[in-house]
Structure 1
Amino acid sequence: MKSIKSVVHCTREEVKPVASSKQPVTSDIGGSSRQEPLIRVQNVKKHYRQNASFLEKMLARQKDKVVYAVDDVSFDIYPGETLGLVGESGCGKSTLGRTVIQLHEATEGRILYRNQDVSKLSGDDLHKYRQKNQIIFQNPYASLNPRKTVRDIIKVALVSRGITKHSDQEAELRQLIEQVGLSQRHLDNYPHQFSGGQRQRIGIARALAMKPDFIVADEPVSALDVSVQAQIVNLLEELQEQYELTFLFVAHDLSVVHYVSDRVAVMYLGQLIELAETTELFNNPQHPYTQALLSSIPVVNKSERRERIILQGSVSTPLEQPKGCLFQNRCMHRIGDICSQERPKWVEHNGHGVACHLIR
């Protein structure tokens, strides 16, 4: 495992195109896997209706609009891996993560957990699914109830898991709080008495209290200082190794994603445009948008710097669904009418998947 110092350098200063310290997880993209996927996302869509106002309907005759937050996304997540999910703000990363664990209901498509369609679960099966699939929220200041102590916050999860005996609860509380780097004396404190990093540790303890096997980490370090980011990232890796956890790691910081992920998926305007093992994607990005993203990473060593790609053109919104490629207005390699008329198909080669007309 890398040291805290190494991830501090990686998060803000330098990303080198070298292999990850993790063993690669075999994907279903481009081949078969020895393991069955823990999570399967199949053609998932999440759309929101944006109602036009009365005046807009009467004066401008505008109809209700549809926000295509997530649009026809498919991928698998394997036991024990960390799948990084990246893209610019508003591309649907967080919405997709929350849809996977049923905080949002999918508009279309299927999500399978251990080959079970989660939309068909009910009663005890649904409760067990929610127990085994947890989330760590981005904002440690808003995700904890300010009127409850740490003890009460975590105890809610323990009761939900069926632990009602006081002595058993206390034993679990002590173990959980120490595992995330806090002490027993913190159990009777309130959230406002902690720093941002400490609050995020409490959020992690709350998720662990449910004994999950899958966690959506929704930008868990983006609101924290750089040195604290490193500590939280290392903590998550230690807990993953200890409890054999599987992560969907949502982030916009590519340096952090490079450090923690086995594979990386790239989203643009609600769609998945590229997915590959981490080293492969960072060394050999195929989609023009991915290439532009990676070129923006600050690198100290001049010999390893990429030529900066500055995207031009207008940016579409999730309210728009133009024909053809959603990236066409900003693409430096646009191909005639095909990019404006046809939606690119998903193409797979040796575990590297991409949706682009340049790739055939």
Structure 2
Amino acid sequence: MENGTFIQIKNLKKYFIEEPDLLMKLVAKKKKRVVKAVDDISLDINKGETLGLVGESGCGKTTLGRTIVRLYEPTEGKIIFEGEDITEARGEKLKEYREKAQIIFQNPYSSLNPRKTVRQILSVPLIASGVKDPHEREERIMYLLNRVGLNYRQMDSYPHEFSGGQRQRIGIARALAMSPEFIVADEPVSALDVSIQAQIINLLEELKEELNLTYLFIAHDLSVVYHVSDRVAVMYLGKIVEMGKTEDIFFNPLHPYTKALLSAIPSIDKSKRRERIILEGTVPSPVNPPKGCRFSTRCFMKKGKMCEEVEPELKEVEKGHFVACHLY
């Protein structure tokens, strides 16, 4: 394992096969389509850091996060956790990994079973991790609820009896139940009111420091990413196009796509506002991505045929700052 590296993702791919229904097969003669949601991504996540992952909706952020924690099976590539390859782990080995790597889902309204009480929801991971004694389990549930800012007297309530922010706290408690070391936070505040978002972000920050957690923080709100991340990776159409320290990404963006994203951040201070970059055209389909640079169809700094025909590699152009662009 490299110095400080906690998780290594090597040439990871996740493709989905899209099957047309019977009518479309017969009438339109449609065939299977391969959706390249995550296409050859390599990155490292260091112990104790928060790596922010940003990009437009549909770029593959959530798929990457779910593949890393093995909710989705990788199509190709490797996932190495603490120096051990868990890409094809099964049985007890996969169970051990899932105890250490958990996920907080985006929508607290759909990620909790409405037919189960909070006690039942939190009991499932506790039993799976070996807490068989009911009294011990009860104490653990009380601790988890208290730690995420909920009253333990609410443990026999159902999800519909809670607000959105409270439901997300239950989701966080469920992720913590197995005492994980790594958490994928999949847009954990995007479904919440602005007034509640700061509370949840602060809670996640406190838990990180207290429990020495490592986060992959997926978001589309760049202001949130700037606040919580040590490093940032920018994703476009299944690829990482830029990655580096948060300060470098926000104040010295290199990739045209990153520049366009940052120009969209609203600011009350007129002196800090960037000139707005409007991207023309639509995002290409992950079923049939462009041959060369995937951003070439919308790029305002395109260099011609090279961008259209040759796919750029993700290269380190400054210390710790990587970019996949023919301009560098």
Secondary structure, in 3 states, of the residue corresponding to 2:155? helix
Counterpart check, 1:143 vs 2:111:
yes
- Decide whether the 8 Å contact of 2:256 with 2:301 is kept in 1: yes
Give 1:147 deviation, angstroms.
1.1
Give 1:122 deviation, angstroms.
2.8
Give 1:120 deviation, angstroms.
3.4
Aligned to 2:304: 336
Aligned to 1:109: 77
Equivalenced residue count is: 327
Counterpart check, 1:181 vs 2:132:
no
For 2:98 and 2:299, how far apart are their aligned partners in 1? 40
Report Cα offsets for 1:219-270 as digits up to 9, x if no partner.
Answer: 0000001110000000000000000000000110000011000000000001
Aligned to 2:252: 284
Give 1:48 deviation, angstroms.
0.9
- Normalising to structure 1: TM-score of the pair? 0.88
For 1:122 and 1:63, how far apart are their aligned partners in 2? 32
Give 1:186 deviation, angstroms.
1.0
Residue type matched to 1:231 in 2?
A: Q
Secondary structure, in 3 states, of the residue corresponding to 1:89? coil
Counterpart check, 1:51 vs 2:19:
yes
Aligned to 2:267: 299
Q: After the TM superposition, which parts of structure 1 deviate over 3 Å for at least 4 consecutive aligned residues?
A: 52-63
Residue type matched to 2:294 in 1?
A: L
Secondary structure, in 3 states, of the residue corresponding to 1:120? coil
Counterpart check, 1:353 vs 2:322:
yes
Identity fraction in percent: 58
Aligned to 1:83: 51
Segment of structure 1 superposing worse, 59-68 or 165-174:
59-68
Within 5 A, what are the aligned runs for 1:53-72? Answer: 53-54=21-22, 56-57=24-25, 61-72=29-40
Aligned to 2:64: 96
Counterpart check, 1:253 vs 2:221:
yes
CA spacing shift, 1:141–1:55, aligned 2, 3 Å: closer
For 2:170 and 2:30, how far apart are their aligned partners in 1? 46
Secondary structure, in 3 states, of the residue corresponding to 2:135? helix
Aligned to 2:184: 216
Aligned to 2:280: 312
Gap regions ≥5 residues in structure 1: 1-27
For 1:212 and 1:54, how far apart are their aligned partners in 2? 44
For 2:113 and 2:188, how far apart are their aligned partners in 1? 18
Gap regions ≥5 residues in structure 2: none
Residue type matched to 1:160 in 2?
A: A
CA RMSD of aligned residues (A): 1.4
Give 1:50 deviation, angstroms.
1.5
Give 1:119 deviation, angstroms.
2.4
For 2:272 and 2:101, how far apart are their aligned partners in 1? 39
Residue type matched to 1:41 in 2?
A: I
For 1:73 and 1:67, how far apart are their aligned partners in 2? 15
Secondary structure, in 3 states, of the residue corresponding to 1:188? coil
Aligned to 1:191: 159
Counterpart check, 1:163 vs 2:131:
yes
For 2:60 and 2:163, how far apart are their aligned partners in 1? 29
For 1:83 and 1:342, how far apart are their aligned partners in 2? 28
For 1:242 and 1:313, how far apart are their aligned partners in 2? 45
For 2:238 and 2:264, how far apart are their aligned partners in 1? 21
Residue type matched to 1:350 in 2?
A: K
Secondary structure, in 3 states, of the residue corresponding to 2:274? coil
Aligned to 1:273: 241
Give 1:56 deviation, angstroms.
4.9
Give 1:51 deviation, angstroms.
2.3
Give 1:124 deviation, angstroms.
2.1
- Decide whether the 8 Å contact of 2:233 with 2:240 is kept in 1: yes
- Decide whether the 8 Å contact of 2:240 with 2:314 is kept in 1: no
Aligned to 2:290: 322
Aligned to 1:201: 169
Residue type matched to 2:191 in 1?
A: A
For 1:248 and 1:342, how far apart are their aligned partners in 2? 30
